[in-house]
Amino acid sequence: MPVRPRPALKPRKTPRQARSTATVDAIFEAFVQVLRSHGPRRLTTTRVAERAGVSVGTMYQYFPNKQALLRAVIERYLGEVADAVEEACRGHMGRPVAVASDALVSAYVLAKTKDVETSRALYLAAAEVEVTELVNATFARLHEATVRLLSSTPDARFEPVEEVAFFVISAVTGATRVAVETKSDRDALDQFRLGMAAMCRAFLRDAAIVRAGPAD
């Protein structure tokens, strides 16, 4: 499995930045809206372009084909999520397990939950085969960050840390998916976040090999 993010799918051209950024944003936004309102099978290039307020031709100037558009949308979205998690991990290296775990879970859930509707829509799009590698690569990023984080905790050691990290990430990403597809209101989602954090904390406490304290 490829581990690192694919740089791929640049827009075909890079015209005046301002305009093109706006256009690309509009297309991304339209993509999500159409996905939401019509479902993945009725997500057509024409509909996206129309919704974005540009012609198909224009859209094809930015994305060489539908697949590329799909990948670009997913890539940006997953990239943001992974960025948020990585930053949280970097910011909590060396902290106690419970703190680090909470930070990790919170970062992920918040990122996914910031705009539930979008997250929900993109889960559907992520089922397409041409995007599997992107999903896997993102999972790998999350996994790696978690491994690093868990390796840095002063109060516990995990063995094998890769496996423990896999459980944490699987459970968090998987459960969050269910939550996003199930709940819409802020409160419920916040509550989910706290609950999920508790679950991971519990699991990690259990899985930990307690590190000998310096004293005694």
Partner DNA sequence: GATGAATGAGGCTTCATTCAT
Partner DNA sequence: CATGAATGAAGCCTCATTCAT
The residues binding DNA (CB under 7 A) are 1-4, 7, 12-13, 15-16, 19-20, 23, 41-46, 54-58, 60-62, 64-67
Contact 108, 173 (CB under 8 A): yes
Residue 123 touching its own copies (CB under 8 A): yes
Q: Is 115 in the site for its own copies (CB under 8 A)?
A: no
Q: How far is the CB of 204 from its own copies (least distance, A)?
A: 9
177 binds, among DNA, its own copies, none (CB under 5 to 8 A by kind): its own copies
Residues between 187 and 216 that touch its own copies (CB under 8 A): 191, 195-196, 198-199, 201-203, 205-207
Rounded Cα gap, residues 122 and 194, in angstroms: 24
Q: Which one among 9, 100, 173, 193 touches its own copies, defined by CB under 8 A?
A: 173
Q: Which long-range contacts (CB under 8 A, 24 or more apart) does 183-192 make?
A: 183/116, 184/116, 184/117, 189/109, 189/113, 189/116, 192/109
Q: Return the one option of its own copies, DNA, none that residue 205 interacts with (CB less than 5 to 8 A, by type).
A: its own copies
- Residue among 129 and 212 whose Cβ is closer to its own copies: 129
Does the protein bind its own copies through residue 83 (CB under 8 A)?
no
Residues 137, 140: Cα–Cα separation, whole Å? 5
Kindly state the number of chain residues that form the binding site for its own copies, as judged by CB under 8 A.
Answer: 36
Minimal distance in Å, beta carbon 63 to its own copies?
17
Q: Are 155 and 97 in contact (CB under 8 A)?
A: yes
40's tokens:
């993945």
Give 21 or 151: the residue with its C-beta nearer to DNA.
Answer: 21
Residue spans of alpha helices (H) in the chain = 17-38, 45-52, 56-62, 66-90, 97-113, 116-125, 132-151, 161-182, 186-207
CA distance 105 to 85: 8
Q: Which is nearer to DNA, 65 or 182 (CB)?
A: 65
What's the rounded Cα separation, in Å, for the pair 109 and 129? 25
Q: Are the C-beta atoms of residues 125 and 73 closer than 8 Å to each other?
A: yes
* Per-residue x/- track, 128-147, its own copies (CB under 8 A): xx------x--x--------
Q: Give residues in contact with its own copies (CB under 8 A).
A: 1, 39-41, 123-124, 126-129, 136, 139, 163, 167, 169-171, 173-179, 182, 191, 195-196, 198-199, 201-203, 205-207
